[in-house]
Amino acid sequence: MGRVIAVANQKGGVGKTTTAINLAASFAAAEVKSLLVDCDPQSNSTGGLGLPRDPERLSTYHLLMAEAEASQAVLPTELEGLNIIPAHKNLIGANLELVGADEREFRLRNALQPIRDNFDFIVLDCPPALDLLTLNALAAADSVLIPMQAEYFALEGISELLDTVNRLRESFNPSLEIEGVVLTMYDDRTNLAQQVTQELRNYFGDKLLSTTIPRNIRLAEAPSYGKPALIYDVRSRGAESYIRLAKEIMDRIGGTPVSVAQDATTAAQPEPELAPAGTNSQEN
């Protein structure tokens, strides 16, 4: 069954969409079947893979409203092995339309269930909010991947996200894991980045992934050509870093049985969500 990874952080502009597109593309390039599901009304993943606006097209909105089957909404992309379920701006209304609906947090999970066997990885691009769309993504996911920038206050909003992950575990999705934290737009030449990284390492332990994503102009340009970076410029540092990230994630899942890896983590240090809310990052 395909592994469902939600790319989430309620902070805006941290690289969720860039990570979702390029991670899903890097999985496909590694010849594992991947599906990107755009859960954000901004539809940046959809546009970033070159799909034109189309109000008639089936989208994540229809899945949440139980108006269509996921298999009907899956579209192929230019990259073989990479598929997408597009978003639509009316997704923003789903937050309200679903209030009071049955199983409103489980809509996406239920919709994706019948197609999970068709893919090795399903990557969910979340909006910058802890809203019902993100809750649906977290309820549908096996794990959450958190893109973050190495900057002061980086940890501030994270405790809120980790609290939400904990609440999901207690209610809708007990087996939700943290896939990892990935540093985006990273510049390791600055002392600040190194200091913040050390702090994040103390806080997250080995959940802080060793692959970092550099600030790279090709990553910013590629969406305007409707392509993942590895098609736009495969030799760019940006494309290479996401290929490494996909490998690291696959190695962590495949290399060590997940249960063993988890035991080792909990033995070595407290799970991030049990650690005190990290608010000391602004002090040094």
Ligand X SMILES: Nc1ncnc2c1ncn2[C@@H]1O[C@H](COP(=O)(O)OP(=O)(O)OP(=O)(O)O)[C@@H](O)[C@H]1O
Q: Which two tokens stand for residue 277?
A: 């809310």
Considering only the stretches 36-44, 102-110, 137-145, 252-260, report the one whose residues sit in contact with ligand X under the rule CB under 6 A. Answer: 36-44
Contacts of 206 (CB under 8 A, 6+ apart): 265, 268
Which of ligand X, Mg ion, none interacts with 228 (beta carbon under 5 to 8 A by kind)? Answer: none
Site for ligand X in 119-178 (CB under 6 A): 128
CA-based nearest residue to 247, from 121, 102, 161: 121
Site for Mg ion in 30-89 (CB under 5 A): 44
Considering only the stretches 7-15, 31-39, 82-90, 102-110, report the one whose residues sit in contact with ligand X under the rule CB under 6 A. Answer: 7-15
Q: Helices marked H in 171-270 — which ranges?
A: 191-204, 217-221, 229-232, 237-255, 258-268
Task: Pick the binder of ligand X from 37, 38, 40, 145 (CB under 6 A).
Answer: 40
**Cβ distance to ligand X smaller for residue 128 or 157:** 128
Considering only the stretches 56-64, 153-161, 187-195, 214-222, report the one whose residues sit in contact with ligand X under the rule CB under 6 A. Answer: 214-222
CA-based nearest residue to 84, from 178, 17, 174: 17
**Cβ distance to ligand X smaller for residue 19 or 83:** 19
What's the CA gap between 161 and 58, in Å, rounded?
A: 30
Edge-to-edge, what's the strand order for the sheet holding 82-85? 75-76, 82-85, 34-38, 121-125, 3-7, 143-149, 177-184
Q: Does 17 bind Mg ion (CB under 5 A)?
A: yes
3-state class (DSSP) for residue 13: coil
Contact positions vs ligand X (CB under 6 A): 12-18, 40, 42, 44, 128, 184-185, 213, 215-216, 219-220, 238
Contact positions vs Mg ion (CB under 5 A): 16-17, 44
